[in-house]
């Protein structure tokens, strides 16, 4: 590497970017002005809402309440009036129910009496904010009144108040330090803001240095110089990284300004802030900065890789949008309560930085994980830079026409009718579907575990259909909507027996190697399906994936890969992605194997239905074993394991070749003619 040239080129890139108004705008003006302004506006609005709520007068009516009962409550409330921030005002009403519905009163009270007990019934509307606030306040007052009277009664009867009324009480003591309480509040929002600002900070310089240079026609001028590819890439990469790191620091400063302001206001209001030490955040901040720099390097290289394919600013913007989408969606991970930084998540780009910062802000320092996050970001950055080098070495990309990338962010009217899907689009759909699986699936599974499986399936099925509509694709062609021939149905049946047996053999072998994870898969499914009847389970676990997953993987994705790759490679890649998307290490191999058979069936029969049949039968069989497998004695008897495996092996060896043979026959001729 020629360092003199590198230095000159670096200087040139930095100068070129800094003299661009857009960069300055996104890098300096936005964080310095926008954040504080946004923050102040939000604070003002919150304060305004709080005051209006406090100063509010709530109107209360009584219905058929005796004068003395009414008076005792009124006196109680009025006796306390000075201490309250709000006022409860009694109004006369002849038709309280109607008035409540018209919102002329906020609540009304009826009274009933039982032995030694008086019940004030508060009638309110939960859908109306004022009414529900009024009811809360009334309830609070009545509870306080009840407590006071109970204490008086007990006293009058000469009883020990504490023994009779409060034999057991609960008291909450928050042992977390003020700092970590603050950290946990900031833990989800700060990493998210950080990641967004790094992305925004690196985006414009990256586009400018790659696609912008091509668009302005200066790339060829640069290539006439006696400089190496390495110097060229490194200078561009380092300058973009520098600018994104600088923009991070400006962001951090701007946010610290807000934090300092908050701290100052807190201090003037409460004593608690006295033992709140900003200094205790220092190690967290220092480690965060190091990790953020590593992350900024990775992000810059990644965005540059994507932009390098574009020929113009506009095109580059189109390419970057999906990256932004994925990065921001992943950045939300900090808001999900149960996802923690561990060995697995520390390797997931973007997510690892979020989770690490979240940990650091509550003073969890696990140095192995910190190192892993740092290392993985550096490695990702290296891979991205290496890839960038490959791109800049490719004359077709430097001088050639731009390829069709992702058209989902283009204007629809610019898209030609009958377009075919691209690999990039199908990958974007998969990533979005997987992210939705984590987010929506996680959320739904709180309501009902089975929903956590069904909702993601819905997305997997719907997203490719929407994409197909958007790119004006021919659905029949993309999704292979054709009835299979009788022979191909027979092939599907054979392949089901063969491929499912093979998958079972592989799973059991893997289960023997890793007994715990094998158990977990089954247990996981059993918890998900708890209380779900067999027929519903078949619909949800077998039919839905057989339709939805096929639409995405063997439909959109397989068609997309086939545009650019040979059959073998397409099947290989789609199957690997199919395996990965099941997000389980132990299920990867059997799923990918099954995926390969499914893809081959679609390729030969040219009908998505033939793979749907195999997929449905395979999953239905699994559901059946989950429900009724335990009833059949020999399946659970270890003595039979060997025999079962032998039977499965025979089934595989007989049915898989027969199925493949059925698919090959005759089709061979026409295929040859085509080639």
Partner 1 sequence: MIEARDLTKQFVRSLKKGKKEEFFAVDHVSFQAVQGEILGILGPNGAGKTTLLRMLGSLMEPTEGQVVIRNREEEPVTSKPELKKHIGYLSENTKLYGRFTVRELLSLFGELYGFTKEEMQEQVEKTNALLHMEEFIDNRIEKLSTGQKQRTSIARCLIHNPDIYIFDEPTLGLDIISSKAIIDFMKQEKTQGKTVLYSTHYMEEAEFLCDRILMIDKGKVIASGTPSELKAATGTGNLRDTFFAYMEGGAEDEL
Task: Give the residues lining the site for partner 1 (CB under 8 A).
Answer: 5, 8-9, 11-12, 15-16, 19-20, 216-218, 220-221, 223-228, 395-396, 399, 562-566, 569-570
Which one, 122 or 219, has the nearer CB to partner 1? 219
Rounded-to-integer distance, Cα 471 and Cα 466, Å? 9
Q: How near is the Cβ of 23 to partner 1 at its closest, in Å?
A: 11
Q: How near is the Cβ of 201 to partner 1 at its closest, in Å?
A: 19
Which one, 400 or 657, has the nearer CB to partner 1? 400
Which one, 179 or 213, has the nearer CB to partner 1? 213
Which one, 400 or 629, has the nearer CB to partner 1? 400
Which one, 227 or 580, has the nearer CB to partner 1? 227
DSSP H or E segment with residue 111:
strand 107-114
Which one, 226 or 531, has the nearer CB to partner 1? 226
Q: By the 8 A CB rule, do 578 and 591 touch?
A: yes
Q: Tokens for 183, please give them.
A: 């950290």
Which one, 501 or 570, has the nearer CB to partner 1? 570
Which one, 170 or 674, has the nearer CB to partner 1? 674
Q: How near is the Cβ of 660 to partner 1 at its closest, in Å?
A: 21
- Residue 353: closest CA among 245, 183, 182, 193: 193
Q: How near is the Cβ of 600 to partner 1 at its closest, in Å?
A: 16
Distance of CA 96 to the CA centre of its chain: 48
DSSP H or E segment with residue 152:
helix 129-156
Rounded-to-integer distance, Cα 6 and Cα 231, Å? 5
Backbone angles phi, psi at 156, to 5 degrees: -60, -35
Which one, 212 or 484, has the nearer CB to partner 1? 212
Q: How near is the Cβ of 556 to partner 1 at its closest, in Å?
A: 16
Distances (CA, A) of 1 to 209, 230, 381, 475: 20, 7, 19, 52
Q: How near is the Cβ of 213 to partner 1 at its closest, in Å?
A: 9
Which residues 6+ apart lie within 8 Å of 372 measured at CB?
A: 343, 346, 347, 352
- If DSSP states are collapsed to H, E and C, what string results for 284-344? HHHHHHHHHHHHHHHHHHHHHHHHHCCCCHHHHHHHHHHHHHHHHHHHHHHHCCCCCCCCC
Which residues 6+ apart lie within 8 Å of 358 measured at CB?
A: 187, 188, 191, 334, 341
Q: Tokens for 566, please give them.
A: 């040979």
Q: How near is the Cβ of 222 to partner 1 at its closest, in Å?
A: 9
Which one, 389 or 449, has the nearer CB to partner 1? 389
Distances (CA, A) of 610 to 393, 548, 590, 594: 43, 14, 19, 13
Q: In what order do the strands lie in the sheet with 107-114?
A: 87-90, 57-62, 107-114, 117-123
Which residues 6+ apart lie within 8 Å of 114 measured at CB?
A: none
Q: How near is the Cβ of 669 to partner 1 at its closest, in Å?
A: 18
Which one, 64 or 396, has the nearer CB to partner 1? 396
Q: Which alpha helices (H) appear in 451-514, and where do they start and end? A: 451-470, 475-478, 486-513
Q: How near is the Cβ of 566 to partner 1 at its closest, in Å?
A: 5
- Residue 239: closest CA among 390, 2, 1, 19: 19
SS3 call for 117 = strand
Q: How near is the Cβ of 22 to partner 1 at its closest, in Å?
A: 12
Which one, 216 or 668, has the nearer CB to partner 1? 216
Q: Tokens for 318, please give them.
A: 């189109």
Q: How near is the Cβ of 12 to partner 1 at its closest, in Å?
A: 6
Q: How near is the Cβ of 398 to partner 1 at its closest, in Å?
A: 9
């Amino acid at each position: 590497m020629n360092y003199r040239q590198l230095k000159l080129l670096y200087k040139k890139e930095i100068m070129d970017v800094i003299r661009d108004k857009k960069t300055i705008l996104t890098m300096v003006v936005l964080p310095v002005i926008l954040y504080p302004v946004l923050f102040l506006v939000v604070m003002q609005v919150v304060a305004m809402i709080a005051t209006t709520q406090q100063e509010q007068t709530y109107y209360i009516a009584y219905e058929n309440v005796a004068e003395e009962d009414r008076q005792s409550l009124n006196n109680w409330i009025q006796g306390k009036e000075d201490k309250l921030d709000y006022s409860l005002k009694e109004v006369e009403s002849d038709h309280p129910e109607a008035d409540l519905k018209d919102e002329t009163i906020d609540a009304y009270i009826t009274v009933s009496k039982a032995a030694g007990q008086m019940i004030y019934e508060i009638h309110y509307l939960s859908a109306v904010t004022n009414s529900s606030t009024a009811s809360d306040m009334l309830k609070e007052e009545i509870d306080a009144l009840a407590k006071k009277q109970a204490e008086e009664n007990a006293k009058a009867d000469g009883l020990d108040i504490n023994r009779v009324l409060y034999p057991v009480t609960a008291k909450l003591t928050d042992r977390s330090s003020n700092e970590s309480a603050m950290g946990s509040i900031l833990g989800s929002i700060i990493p998210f803001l950080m990641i967004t600002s790094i992305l925004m900070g690196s985006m414009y310089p990256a586009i400018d240095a790659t696609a912008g240079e091509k668009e302005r026609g200066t790339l060829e001028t640069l290539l006439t110089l006696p400089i190496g590819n390495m110097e060229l890439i490194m200078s561009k990469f380092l300058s973009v990284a520098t600018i994104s790191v600088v923009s991070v620091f400006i962001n951090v400063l701007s946010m610290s300004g807000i934090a300092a302001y908050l701290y100052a206001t807190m201090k003037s209001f409460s004593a608690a802030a006295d033992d709140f030490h900003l200094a205790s955040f220092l190690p967290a901040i220092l480690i965060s900065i190091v990790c953020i720099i590593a992350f900024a390097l990775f992000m810059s290289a990644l965005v540059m890789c994507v932009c390098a394919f574009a020929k113009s600013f506009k095109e580059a913007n189109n390419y970057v949008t999906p990256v932004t989408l994925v990065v921001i969606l992943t950045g939300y991970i900090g808001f999900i309560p149960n996802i923690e930084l561990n060995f697995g998540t520390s390797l997931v780009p973007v997510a690892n930085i979020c989770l690490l910062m979240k940990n650091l802000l509550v003073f969890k320092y696990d140095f192995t994980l910190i190192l892993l996050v740092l290392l993985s970001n550096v490695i990702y950055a290296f891979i991205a830079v290496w890839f960038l080098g490959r791109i800049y070495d490719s004359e077709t990309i430097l001088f050639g026409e731009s390829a069709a990338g992702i058209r989902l962010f283009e204007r629809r009217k610019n898209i030609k009718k009958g377009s075919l899907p691209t690999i990039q689009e199908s990958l974007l759909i998969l990533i979005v579907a997987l992210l939705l699986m984590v987010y929506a699936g996680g959320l739904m599974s709180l309501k009902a575990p089975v929903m956590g499986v069904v909702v993601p399936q819905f997305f997997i099925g719907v997203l490719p259909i929407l994409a197909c509509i958007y790119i004006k694709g021919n659905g029949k062609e993309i999704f292979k909507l054709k009835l299979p021939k009788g022979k191909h149905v027979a092939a599907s049946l054979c392949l089901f027996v063969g491929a499912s047996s093979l998958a079972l053999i592989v799973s059991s072998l893997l289960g023997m190697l890793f007994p715990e994870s094998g158990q977990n898969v089954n247990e996981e499914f059993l918890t998900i399906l708890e209380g779900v009847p067999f027929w519903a389970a078949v619909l949800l676990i077998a039919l839905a994936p057989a339709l939805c997953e096929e639409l995405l993987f063997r439909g959109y994705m397989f068609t997309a890969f086939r545009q650019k790759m040979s059959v073998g490679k397409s099947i290989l890649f789609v199957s690997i992605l199919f395996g990965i998307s099941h997000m389980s290490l132990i299920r990867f191999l059997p799923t990918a194997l099954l995926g390969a058979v499914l893809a081959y069936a679609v390729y030969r029969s040219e009908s998505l239905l033939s793979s749907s049949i195999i997929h449905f039968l395979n999953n239905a069989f699994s559901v059946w074993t989950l429900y009724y497998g335990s009833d059949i004695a020999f399946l659970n008897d270890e003595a039979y394991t060997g025999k079962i495996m032998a039977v499965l092996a025979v089934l595989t060896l007989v049915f898989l070749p027969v199925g493949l043979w059925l698919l090959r026959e005759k089709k061979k001729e026409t295929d040859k003619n085509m080639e």
